[in-house]
Amino acid sequence: MPSIVEAEIRAFGANGDGLVLIDDKPAYIPYAVPGDRMRLRVGDDRHVEVLDLLSPSPERVSPVCALFGQCGGCSMQTTALPALLEWKTGLVRHALERAGFRTLPRVASVQVPPETRRRIDLAFQRQPGRLVLGLHRRHGDVVDMTECHVVHPALLALLDPLRHVLSSLGAVTGGGDLQINLYSSGPDILLSTDSALAPTDRVKLAAFGRDHRIPRISWKSKRRPEQGFEIVAQQGPVFHAFGAVKLCPPPGGFLQATEQSENAIAQSVLNALPSLNRRDPIIELFAGFGTLTVPMAQKGRVLAYEGHFEAISALKSGAVGQRIETTHRDLTRQPLIAKEFAKARVVVLDPPHAGALIQMDHIARSAVEDIVYVSCNPQALQRDSALLQKAGYEVLSVSVIDQFLWSTEAEAVVSFTKSKKRLSRRQT
């Protein structure tokens, strides 16, 4: 028989749902906030239904978006942003503690403002009489993004015109994907469809680019993504500036979510570097097209490794005259081995979401004294840094950057060292 219980939300689960204990067993409630007291119906299968919110948590707020609960993004809009930053900071700290580090420094943290996200990955789908463009709801279809409090206004303003032009394309027979990056030169669009673009489709996209000042529009096959992209229309130069250095990123290139977070991550990495002279080698792994490479080149000589050919080619072309050397290398299949770090003064790595376990094993067995790890996944950070802890490294500094508002994603910059001199200055 179903039962009615009153219970308080104890904490957030790993996926951001509220954790409640029922008969000393955990259950998870979407959109609940620690401190909420609720009346719940518990079924025989332990399915939990919220009947009433008896008293809200002090950290509970009203969602700012009318699409909350429908759209697949922003699953934590019922929680105040300062509380979310505190939770994400805790996720990173706990990951390091579970990796075996007993002494940790104070954690620095920063949170970006709303409406600053400059990189969005959307899906679109033809429906009777219209085309919807937005994010997938949880395990469901595409929800039309009619408003968003995360995305930069310049990108949000493009969505209605994009719906119009996409609905007119012969290549859009069902659905597809759309990625937009707001580079220094303006919006850059990468379109993916099942069917190939017809000549009339290309004419329409070129006109769209001219009308909306889109420097470049590219396309790739959704069915055969391994074939790469082709540029459909280009109205002007495409570049992203890191200070005075301008690089031409490839279509769909990786870009930190906001300008504020790009600057915060780069500054955290620079602050984490040991004292260097301008010839000291910095080995950078998973370099992308230069988000960290260019700023670090002001401190030392950067040896940048990246597996994505178009990204490392863009860095090589744009970094002429800088203290940067580039190498195309798939670090998942061919990681640098321990002896290849022999001359490195410091190693900096920014791996993908899955982390860099194989590469980290070789780093841990090397003689390098200082390591800076940029993480977008606390679970991968825990697993990878456990190898460093066993190898005798300690945590020197930790910064948490919340660049994905109202989500469960947590970005961190962690520096590890074996230098007793540097550790003596650590603030705990």
Taking the CA atoms of residue 294, residue 351, residue 183 and residue 262 in that order, the dihedral angle to the nearest 10 degrees is: -70
Q: Has 376 been annotated as catalytic?
A: yes
DSSP 8-state class, residue 185: T
The answer to whether 267 is a known ligand-binding residue is no
* Collapsed DSSP state (helix, strand, coil) of residue 209: helix
Q: Provide the residue type at 144 as one letter.
A: D
Q: Which residues are within 8 A (CB) of 57 and not within 5 positions of it... i.e. 6 or more apart?
A: 9, 33, 34, 35, 36
Q: Are 121 and 177 in contact (CB under 8 A)?
A: yes
| CA–CA dist 144, 126 (Å, integer) | 11
Q: Are 286 and 363 in contact (CB under 8 A)?
A: no
The answer to whether 177 is a known ligand-binding residue is no
Pairing, β 18-22 against β 11-12: antiparallel
Looking at the chain, the number of H-run helices and the number of E-run strands are 10, 23
* Collapsed DSSP state (helix, strand, coil) of residue 395: strand
The answer to whether 286 is a known ligand-binding residue is yes
- The token pair at 219 is 């396309």
* Collapsed DSSP state (helix, strand, coil) of residue 424: coil
Catalytic site residue from 65, 71, 248, 376: 376
| CA–CA dist 292, 380 (Å, integer) | 20
Instruction: From residue 109, give the alpha-carbon distance in Å to each of 112, 297, 397, 426.
Output: 10, 25, 11, 17
Instruction: From residue 414, give the alpha-carbon distance in Å to each of 82, 203, 241, 298, 347.
Output: 21, 48, 25, 20, 12
Q: Which residues are within 8 A (CB) of 236 and not within 5 positions of it... i.e. 6 or more apart?
A: 185, 215
- The token pair at 208 is 């769209």
Phi-psi region at 128: left, alpha or beta (left = phi > 0; alpha = psi -120 to 50): beta
The answer to whether 12 is a known ligand-binding residue is no
E strand intervals along 62-183: 107-111, 119-127, 130-136, 142-144, 175-183
Residues forming the annotated binding site for S-adenosyl-L-methionine? 256, 286, 306, 350
Kindly list the catalytic residues.
Answer: 376
Annotated binding site: 256, 286, 306, 350
